Amino acid sequence: MSQALPAAGRAGARRILPALALVLVAMLVLSLVLGAVAVPPDRVLAALMGQGTGRDAVVVLQLRLPRAIMGGATGAALAVAGATLQGLFRNPLADPGLIGVSSGAALAAAVTIVLGGHLTALLPWLQTAWLLPVAAFAGGLVATRVVGAVATRDGVTSAPGMLLAGIAVNAIAMALVGLLVWMSDDRQLRDFTFWTLGSLAGADWPRTALALPLLLVPMLLLPRLALPLNAMMLGEREAGHLGVAVQRIKRQAVVLSALAVGAAVAATGLIGFVGLVVPHLVRLVAGPDQRLVIPGSALLGASLLMGADALARTLAAPAELPVGLLTSAIGGPFFLWLLTRRAR
C-alpha cells in the first residue's frame, strides 16, 4: 500500500478519488435536504446543530440521517465486494451473487417470511423484526461457506471451482425459494417480492448501529488486498512467483466480501446493480489498478445508493419506491453513456 501510484496513469485517474469524495458529500447533502416533508435547508442545518423544532428534528435526525448513513455504508460495501470479487475471479461479470451470498440470504429471508409465524410460535422470545436481518446475514455466510468448502481441495481453493459451486448453490437456494413462494400466502409473497427489490425504509438508529460495524470492517480491510489482487490479475501462479500468498488472499477476499454483502443484504434486502456495475464505472475512468478501483468503488457505491434512496423517498411521495429499482434506473443509462464514450 505504501508504493506511490504509477505516474503514467490514465488521464484523470489520480483525480478520481477526490472527485468521487466531492460527489459523496453532495449526495449526503442531497439526502438530508430532499424528502417528503418540506424542510428548508436552513432548518435542516439547524436540526443538525441540535437546534431544530420537534418535527424537523425527528425528520432530519431520526429519519434522514440514519438512512443516509445506512445507504452510504451499504452502497460502499456492495461496490467494494464487487470490485474485489471481479479482481479475484478475473471475471468482469463476477458480482457478489456468484459466491452464493445473495441467494443464501434470499433463502433465509424467504424462510423467515413464510415460516416465521411457526418459528415465533415455537420460540416466543424470537423478535420477528430482528429475525429477518439476522437470518439473512447467517444464510448468506452459510451459502458462501458451502461454496468455499466445495471448491477447496487439499487447502487450495480454485477460483473457477468457486464460480461453478456458486452456480450450483444458487440453483439449490432458488429452488428452495421457489418452494417457499409456492407455500406462501398473498401477503408473504408480496413481502418477499418487496424484500427482493430492496429498501432503506427500515433504517433507524438501532438497526444502523447494528449493521454499521459489519459493513465498515470489511470495507476498511479490503483495500489492503489491492496490491496482491493487482498481482493476481497476471494469473495465480505468476502472483505466487511474485511472493503473494495466493490462498490466504483468496480466503480473505471471499470472507470479507461475504461479510460485507451479507450485512448489506440483511440491512436492506437485495439491491442490484451496485456490486456489479459500480466497479466497472470506476475502472472505465481510472483503469484496472485495484488501489484506485476499490476505494473509488466505495465512494461511488455510497454516492449512488444515497442518491437513489433520496429519489426513492421523494419521487412517489408520500409513497416510497423500492430503492433497488432506482439504483438500476440511474446507474444503467449512466453506464451506457460511459460505454459509448469509450467506444468512440
Partner 1 sequence: MRLTTGLALLLWAAAASPAAAATVAEGAAVAPGGRILSLGAAVTEIVFALDSGDRLVGADSSSIYPPDADRLPKVGYVRALGAEGLLSLSPDLVLATEEAGPPAAIEALAAAGVPVARVGEGTSVAAALARISAVGAAIGKDVPATTLRAGIERDLATLAAAMAAAAPARPRVMFVLSAGRGGPMVAGTGTAADSMITLAGGANAIDGYAGYKPLAPEAAATAEPEVILTTTQALESLGGADALLDRPEIAATPAGRARRLLAFDAAYLLGFGPRMAQAATDLARALHPGLALPDLASAPGAP
**Footprint of partner 1 on this chain (CB under 8 A)?**
12, 15-16, 19, 22-23, 26-27, 30, 34-38, 54-55, 58-59, 62-64, 129, 182, 185-187, 190-191, 194, 199, 201-204, 207, 285, 303, 307, 310-311, 313-320, 322, 330, 334, 337-338, 341
Three-point CA angle 154, 158, 161, nearest 5°: 115
Asked whether 266 and 260 are in contact (CB, 8 A), the reply is no
121's CB contacts (< 8 A; 6+ apart) are none
Q: How far is the CB of 5 from partner 1 (least distance, A)?
A: 17
Q: How far is the CB of 106 from partner 1 (least distance, A)?
A: 17
Residues 300, 110: Cα–Cα separation, whole Å: 30
In this complex, which beta carbon is closest to partner 1, that of residue 36 or of residue 175?
36
Q: How far is the CB of 190 from partner 1 (least distance, A)?
A: 7
User: Which DSSP symbol is given to 288?
Assistant: S
Q: For residue 16, how far is the Cα from the chain centroid?
A: 21
Q: How far is the CB of 46 from partner 1 (least distance, A)?
A: 15
In this complex, which beta carbon is closest to partner 1, that of residue 6 or of residue 334?
334
In this complex, which beta carbon is closest to partner 1, that of residue 112 or of residue 303?
303
In this complex, which beta carbon is closest to partner 1, that of residue 93 or of residue 205?
205
Q: How far is the CB of 194 from partner 1 (least distance, A)?
A: 5
In this complex, which beta carbon is closest to partner 1, that of residue 15 or of residue 237?
15
Asked whether 305 and 323 are in contact (CB, 8 A), the reply is yes
Q: One-letter amino acid identity for 2?
A: S
Q: In which residue are the cell numbers 471471499 written?
A: 254
Q: How far is the CB of 151 from partner 1 (least distance, A)?
A: 35
Cell for 202?
A: 427500515
In this complex, which beta carbon is closest to partner 1, that of residue 89 or of residue 192?
192
Asked whether 166 and 100 are in contact (CB, 8 A), the reply is yes
Q: How far is the CB of 3 from partner 1 (least distance, A)?
A: 25
Residues 89, 236: Cα–Cα separation, whole Å: 10
In this complex, which beta carbon is closest to partner 1, that of residue 65 or of residue 151?
65
What HEC string does 4-29 produce?
Answer: CCCCCCCCCCCCHHHHHHHHHHHHHH
Picking from 83, 4, 2, 75, the residue whose alpha carbon sits closest to that of residue 287 is 83
In this complex, which beta carbon is closest to partner 1, that of residue 1 or of residue 38?
38
Q: How far is the CB of 145 from partner 1 (least distance, A)?
A: 29
Q: Which residues in 75-106 are b (16+ Cβ under 10 Å) and which e?
A: bbbbbbbbbbbbbbbeeeebbbbbbbbbbbbb
